[in-house]
Structures are given as structure tokens and as C-alpha cells.
Amino acid sequence: MIGIDTNVLVRVLVEDTEQPHQTQLARALVRSVPQVYVSQIVQVETVWVLESAYQFDKASIILALEQLSQNEALVLQHADNFLLAVELYRQTSADFADCLILVDHRQLQVPLYTFDKRLSKQIGAKLLK
């Protein structure tokens, strides 16, 4: 097993016309090994890069996240929480990072206090006023 960082994972997911060599290298690397570890921070950063650098809309990001979860070669850190966060992200207006944070807190059965009004509407989150 190997691990990859965000910019490698993004090149696997996106046909980057400005970085075709990096895209080719990243995809070849992932194909060359039996398993690739994707840490939780890489999961979060990937969504941020897809939103900010590639201007993916929410539906496209959800599709990319589903592809990650269905790829048997990828070992996602806290995979169960990842799947729960993707579903929460799909159903709410909260961003993916907040969904993942909330899911982690739900699993621990501790309330999550936040100033984020969108996030505070979710079960397990409380608006700090």
C-alpha cells in the first residue's frame, strides 16, 4: 500500500489539461499498486480543490466522492464516516468538511458547537451564541 497527497488524487480524478504529464503519472502510479491510502485530510482538501480550482458544482463533487468510495483500490481513512459525510453533504447545505467533522462527532456521541448557522441546523450540532 502507498499513500497519496491531494494533488496526486486530484490528478487521478480530473483530466487536467494544464498538467497532462502529472495526470498521466498520478494515474499510472495508482494503477501500479494494489492499494492506495487516502487520509481524511486529503479527502477534505480534494473537495476544496475541486470547488476552488476547478469550479466543480456540488453534483460533480458528489459524483467524484462516490467514485472514491467505490474504487476498491482506494483505502479511505474512516471509510464509514466518509460515506456518512457524503450522504449528509448531499442532503444539506453544509460543506463537505463540516459534514465530515459532524459525522466524527456523532460517532463519538459528543455535541459539536459551531458558529456556522447552516451546520448548526443538523442533528448533533449546536449554534454557539
Quick one: pLDDT at residue 120?
A: 93
Listing DSSP states for 21-79 in one string gives HHHHHHHHHHHHSS-EEE-HHHHHHHHHHHHHTT---HHHHHHHHHHHHH-TTEEETTH
- Which amino acid makes up residue 16? D
Task: List per-block mean pLDDT (blocks of 10 residues) for the chain, which spans 129 residues.
Answer: 97 91 96 97 98 97 97 96 97 95 96 94 94
Quick one: pLDDT at residue 60?
A: 97
